[in-house]
Amino acid sequence: MGKLTLVQCLTGHRGRVWGAGWHPRDPVLATCGEDKTIRIWADDGTGRWVPKTVLSDGHTRTIRDVAWSPCGRFLASASFDATVAIWDRRSGEFECNATLEGHENEVKSVAWSRSGSLLATCSRDKSVWIWEVAQEDEYECAAVLNTHSQDVKKVEWHPHEDVLASASYDNTIQLYREDLADSDWSSFDTLASHDSTVWSIAFDASGRRLASCSDDQTVRIWQEYKPGNEFGVACPDGKTPVWKCVCTLSGFHSRAVYDISWCKQTGLIATACGDDMVRIFREVAGSPANEPTFELVASKHAHTQDANTVEWSPAGLLVTTSDDGDVKLWKFEEDE
Partner 1 sequence: MSELENINPNVYKRSEDRKSTEDDENDDVADPFDEREIFDLIRNINDPEHPLTLEELHVLEQSLITVDNEKNFVKVLFTPTIPHCSMATLIGLSIRVKLLRALPPRFKVSVEINPGTHASENAVNKQLADKERVAAALENTHLIEVINQCIAVPIK
CA distance 118 to 69: 10
Q: Which one among 35, 215, 216, 326 touches partner 1, defined by CB under 8 A?
A: 215
Length of the chain: 336
Q: Tell me the C-alpha distance between 21 and 309, whole Å.
A: 9
Structural contact between residues 13 and 336, judged by C-beta atoms closer than 8 angstroms: no
Of 2, 7, 16, 193, the residue at the interface with partner 1 (CB under 8 A) is 16
Q: How many residues bind partner 1 (CB under 8 A)?
A: 24
Cα–Cα distance measured from residue 312 to residue 265, given in angstroms and rounded to the nearest whole number:
9
Q: Which of 81, 204 has the CB closer to partner 1? A: 81
Query: What gap in Å lies between CA 291 and CA 246, rounded to an integer?
Result: 5
Which residue, 106 or 204, has its beta carbon nearer to partner 1? Answer: 106
Identify whether the C-beta of residue 62 lies closer than 8 Å to the C-beta of residue 36: yes
CB of 80 to partner 1, least distance (A): 5
Decide if residue 177 touches partner 1 (CB under 8 A). no
Q: Which residue of 69, 274, 307, 330 would you call a contact of partner 1, by CB under 8 A?
A: 274
81 and 35 Cβ atoms separated by less than 8 Å: no
Return the number of the residue (311 or 323) whose C-beta is nearest partner 1: 323
Q: Please report whether residue 103 would count as binding partner 1 according to CB under 8 A.
A: no
Q: In terms of C-beta density within 10 A (0-12 exposed, 13-18 middle, 19 or more buried), how is residue 314 classed?
A: middle
Closer by beta carbon to partner 1, 5 or else 149 = 149
**For partner 1, the closer CB: 34 or 204:** 34
Residue 234 main-chain phi, psi, to 5 deg: -75, 140
Kindly tell me which of 58 and 274 has the beta carbon lying closer to partner 1.
274
Q: Is 113 in the site for partner 1 (CB under 8 A)?
A: no
Q: Using CB under 8 A, pick the residue from 106, 156, 204, 311 that binds partner 1.
A: 106
Alpha-carbon distances, residue 73 vs 1, 19, 94, 95 (angstroms): 38, 19, 10, 12
Q: Which residues contact 215 (CB under 8 A, 6 or more apart)?
A: 196, 197, 198, 199, 256, 257
d(CA 34, CA 244): 36
Each residue 54-83 as x (binds partner 1 by CB under 8 A) or -, in order, gives -------xx-x---------------x---
Pick left, alpha or beta for residue 206 (phi over 0 → left; psi -120 to 50 → alpha; otherwise beta). Answer: alpha
Residue 125 engages partner 1 in binding (rule: CB under 8 A): no
Taking CB under 8 A as the rule, which mask of x and - marks residues 243-272 in contact with partner 1? ------------xx----------------
Q: Where along the sequence are the contacts to partner 1 (CB under 8 A)?
A: 16, 34, 61-62, 64, 80, 105-106, 108, 124, 151, 153, 169, 196-197, 215, 255-256, 274, 304-306, 323-324
